[in-house]
Chains A and B, each alone.
Chain A
Amino acid sequence: MRDVVEQAMRGDREAFGWLVNQTSDRMYAVATRILRDTHLAEDALQSALVTAWRQLPTLRDPDRFEAWVRKLVVHACYAEARRRTSWAANVRALPIDGPTGPDDILGVSDRDALDRAFRRLNVEQRAVFVLHHHLGLPLVEIAETLGIPAGTARSRLHYATRTLRAAIEADAAPVVREGRMA
């Protein structure tokens, strides 16, 4: 891949197109998980990859291309999540009834509880949680990707995990809950 990255760094759009095809699914998966919104994730992916093309000549180490793009995607997710306002079409919605997971692991109530709790996390905490649990990145690499100290990455992951875990456990408790969405 290094050679193709170097070609793209010299302005070869076909080489960059190849890189887009190689990485876009993985980056989109990260963005949808952080943002929990396919429309925002599409915007984040598009913004990050066009920025990657523009800034590619400034990439210092071609072997770090994917990590560099991942960083751009996470930052694009920050920007999307922090948009005070955004375009939104009602047809675009979370695939709540979309792909089904293994129900023996994840019940519907767990799913709802996680959805609600995840919305309460800030986008920085979401990013660390997704990079750790979805991509399996160690904290050191997460910290490097996000440009934050490892201790900060650890505390964000700790807070996110505690929040989501508490949500599942609270949901499992035999209490009467109101059904109104926040």
Chain B
Amino acid sequence: MTTDRDFDRIAVAWLDLMPDKAPDRVVDEILEDVALTPQARRPLVRMPWTSPRTDRLLLIAATVLLGVALLGGAVLLAGGSPTTPLPTPAVPPPAVPSPTAAVTAVPSPAVAPPSVDASLVGTWISTKPDDLFFGATPAGGRLSLVFDANGNQGFVLAPGGPVEHLLATIDAPAADRLRFTARGATEPVTVAGATVPGCAAGDPGTYAVQKSSDGLTLHLEPLDDRCPARSAVLARTWTRSAGVATGGGLQVVDAFNPLFTVQLPAGSYSVDRAPGAITVAQSVPELQFLAFQDPQGFNDPCDPVGGGRRAIAPGADAIVAYFRQLPGFTVDSVTEQRVDGHRAVRLVVHANADASCPDGRLAEWQPKAVTNDLHWFLRPGDFDSLVIVELPDSTVMFEVLPAPHALEDQIIGSVRFLDRLPTTP
């Protein structure tokens, strides 16, 4: 018989067997993701579900409060002093190394300029011209333009590196204008073999903004930019991308070729990528959208490494046939459908409840692009609901979790494949 006290000691000792220290690699990845992730905007007023009349009253009250706040701000700016000093940290946080190309900081303006449109916040991508180079960046690939809502900052990422180029404070002097102010001196870029000078700290540049009605593209046209390098980079059409984090909506997913767009519910998603695969996921409410390209299977679901890989021919039927012969799995249903005009099959398959592998996981597949032992698996009794789409040059699988998910048809039905990123608005 174990006494309560004995059990508590045993439980604590057993729990203590697990590691206590987060790997440095994971902390570094978190900080890298944070560097590229915009913060949500602070809501002005939290409104519970109310009657339309109460909504109007709250709206009026919020407007009044906002007016009072603005008036108070104006009084302070006119010479008043705040009654409460701005908080400063008792222990200054150590500086986190930021991969920024900026050198000389520009003081923040005393008066906050008009904010950028919230719909711009996030990551936008564009095909990098082959003759445009940031230092030694590779010839191909894509540029990313990242808008940070909180600091009203933006920067550009070149292919192959996390360095923030052309870091700038951004404000919106008009609804269809964006003004970029260089946060520091920036390096020159090379266009068609010619060196284009970089920005000096404080260099302004104003751009006309043209957004597509569906919010998918953003075209920037320079009106007046003192920084030639910035103009050479920004003046193009950008497409909203999932990036490393996304708030949902219509966006392009650039995990593999072909690119595709998908419409996700508004939310707060993180994005994980692997060769030939992508996961866009949020915890609350739980929703994961997954895409895989060209799966290959395994001979032994209990031993994906030792048992060897099993080739799967292109097309949905070959994937269904693979699961029909895979030990430990049962195909529940196969339904024909179409996705963006392409033949597709919805396959529901489960791992048998009595299936037993030493680690409790039955390996299913990995994209052909994966060269290590990363793989997708099911636990006994769990199932997949996959939509397998046949494209001319590849086979793509989509899944929405947790399955079955009420939004599965809506989300996967919104997928549109692209030959290339838009180059015009």
Contact = CB atoms under 8 A, between A and B. Distances in A.
B137 interface: no
B148 A11 contact: yes
B35 interface: yes
A169 B2 contact: yes
B58 interface: no
A54 B2 contact: no
Interface in A76-105: 76, 78-79, 82-91, 93, 95, 98-102, 105
A28 interface: yes
Nearest to B18: A32
Number of chain B interface residues as a range: 35 or more
Contacts, number: 225
A27 B22 contact: yes
Contacts of A6: 87
A50 B245 contact: yes
Given A18-B94, A53-B39, A29 B12 contact: no
B377 A101 contact: no
Interface string B25-67: 0110111011101111111000000000000000000000000
A56 interface: yes
A17 B93 contact: yes
Of listed B11, B282, B373, residue having the most chain A CB within 10 A: B11
A79 B356 contact: no
Contacts of A182: 356, 360
A101 B13 CA distance: 6
B286 A133 contact: no
B374 interface: yes
A6 B151 CA distance: 14
A20 interface: yes
Contact of B13 (A13, A76, A106): A106
A16 B93 CA distance: 9
Number of chain A interface residues as a range: 35 or more
A70 interface: no
Contacts of A53: 34, 37, 39
A157 to B, nearest CB: 11
B38 A54 contact: yes
A36 interface: yes
B408 interface: no
B268 interface: yes
Contact of A57 (B10, B42, B373): B42
Nearest to A102: B13
A14 B34 CA distance: 10
A47 B282 CA distance: 8
Contacts of B98: 13-14
B370 to A, nearest CB: 9
Contacts of B245: 50, 54
Contacts of A7: 87, 89, 93
Nearest to B399: A85
B402 A82 contact: yes
A46 B26 contact: yes
B187 interface: no
Interface in B146-168: 148-151
Of listed B87, B283, B399, residue having the most chain A CB within 10 A: B283
B374 A89 contact: yes
B34 A17 contact: yes
A145 interface: no
A7 to B, nearest CB: 6
Interface string A42-86: 110111111101111110000000000000100110110011111
A11 B27 contact: no
B1 A169 contact: yes
A36 B377 CA distance: 17
Nearest to A26: B20
A79 B29 CA distance: 20
Of listed B22, B37, B38, B96, residue having the most chain A CB within 10 A: B22
Interface stretch (B308-316, B327-335, B378-386): B378-386
Given A17-B96, A54-B38, A75-B284, A47 B8 contact: no
Contacts of B150: 10-11, 57
Interface string B250-276: 000000000000000000101010100
B382 A84 contact: yes
A53 B149 CA distance: 12
Interface in B87-129: 87-91, 93-96, 98
A42 B33 CA distance: 14
A4 interface: yes
A158 interface: no
Given A36-B18, A55-B40, A83 B401 contact: yes
Contact of B358 (A3, A20, A98, A181): A181
B304 interface: yes
A134 B90 CA distance: 30
A119 to B, nearest CB: 7
B305 interface: yes
Interface of A: 2-4, 6-7, 9-11, 13-21, 24-25, 27-29, 32-33, 36, 38, 42-43, 45-51, 53-58, 72, 75-76, 78-79, 82-91, 93, 95, 98-102, 105-106, 110-111, 114, 119, 129-130, 133-134, 161, 164-165, 168-169, 180-182
5 contacts: A18-B94, A18-B96, A50-B34, A51-B282, A169-B2
| 3 closest residue pairs by CB, A with B | A11-B150, A18-B93, A17-B96
Given A20-B31, A85-B364, A182-B356, 8 more contacts: A4-B93, A14-B95, A25-B22, A56-B39, A58-B42, A75-B283, A79-B283, A168-B10
